[in-house]
Amino acid sequence: MDYSFLQHYWWFLVSLLGALLVFLMFVQGGQSLLFTIGRSEIQQKLLVNSTGRKWEFTFTTLVTFGGAFFASFPLFYSTSFGGAYWVWILILLCFVLQAVSYEYQSKRGNLLGKKTYRIFLFLNGILGPVLVGAAVGTFFNGAEFLVNKKQLTELGMPVISQWATPWHGLEAVWGSMHGFHLWNVVLGLAVLFLSRVLALLYFINNVKEDDIQSRSRKQLLIETALFLVCFLAFLVHLLIQKGFAVDPGTKEVFLQDYKYLFNLLEMPVVLAILLIGVVGVLFGIIKTLLAAKWKKGIWFAGAGTVFTVLALLLIAGWNHTAYYPSVADLQSSLTIENSSSSPFTLKVMSIVSLLIPFVLAYIFWAWRALDIHGTNRTDMEEASNHAY
C-alpha cells in the first residue's frame, strides 16, 4: 500500500460516502412532498413517520462524509469549509431544522405548532438537496480560492487558503464573473428531483395506505421527467466541457477538452459502474410505473443512485484530475495528491476502515427492523409514544 494507493483508496471511500448520502436524501425528498402527497392530517403523519424513521441515517452519513474528508484530505476541509462557509452553514442549518422539527413537532406545549415544524421539514427537503448538489457541482466547475502553502511559515498569518470573493461560497449558487454557477444549480435541481423520485418509490414500498401509494405513482412520472431533464443536461455538459487535468510529471493543472469523458473512457470499470447505476435507476422507476402492484423500485433505484454518484465522484478525483479546481488560480486547485493527509495517517485510517462492513451490516439490520411491517394507521394510533 504505497502513498498513491492510499490516496486513491480514500477518495473512493469519500466518494462512496457521498453516494450513500445522495441516496439517503430520499428523506429530504419525502419532506418536500409532505403537502403534495399527504392531503389529510393522518396521511401527513404517516409520511412524517415513514421518513422520520430514517432521518438519523442521512444526518449521520453527512457527518461521516465531512469527517472522512477532514481526516483524509484536510486541505480541502480547511479550504472549502473555512472559505465557502456560508454554503456549509446553510446546509448545517437545514439539517438542524430537520432534527428539531422531527423531535418537537408532536411534543406537548409546542408553542410554534405542528404545522410550523412541518414547514421547516419542507424547507429542509427543498434547500438541503439543492445546496448539497450546488456544493458538489464545484468539484467539476471550480470555486474561487487561493492556496499558498508557504504562508504556513508566516508567524503573523499562518493561513494557507484564502477565499477570493466576499461571498464565501454563495457564488456557487448566485453566480460570479466566471458564470459557472448555472450548472451548479442544475446539479442541485437534479439532486432535488432525484430525492423526490426516491421518496415516492420509498412511500410506495413503505406506507400501507392506498391513497398515498396511488398519489405517489401519479407524481412519480412528473418528478422523473424533471429529474431526467436536469440530470441529462448536466451529464451532457459535463462530458463535453473542459476539465481540470493534472500533468503527472510537473503536477501543473491545466484545462483539457473533454477531460471527464476521457476519464470514463480511460477507466472502463468506472464507466461500467456509471452505466449500471443509470440502468438501475431507470429500471426501478419504469417498472414501478408499469406494474401497478410492484413496490421494490426503491431498492433498484437506490442502488443505481449509489453507483451513479460514485462513478461521477470518482472521475472528479481519479486519473490525474483536480477534484476541487480553483478558477481564481489554476495552480491552487486541489488534487488527491496535494491535499491528502500523511502516509502514516492514511495507513492507520485504512486499517480502521476495515470495520466499515460491520457498520454497514448493523445499518442493514436496523433498517430492516424499522421497516419490517411498514408504516400504517395502526402504528400511528397504537404507538403514540414512538410516533413523530
Half-sphere CA count of 228, side-chain side, radius 13 A: 12
pLDDT at res. 178: 46
- pLDDT score at 156: 63
Three cell numbers at 201?
Answer: 418509490
Residue 218: the pLDDT is 95
Mean pLDDT of successive 10-residue stretches along the chain, which has 388 residues: 93 95 95 92 89 87 88 90 86 89 79 85 94 92 86 69 82 57 91 97 92 94 97 96 94 95 97 97 96 92 97 97 93 94 93 84 80 72 60
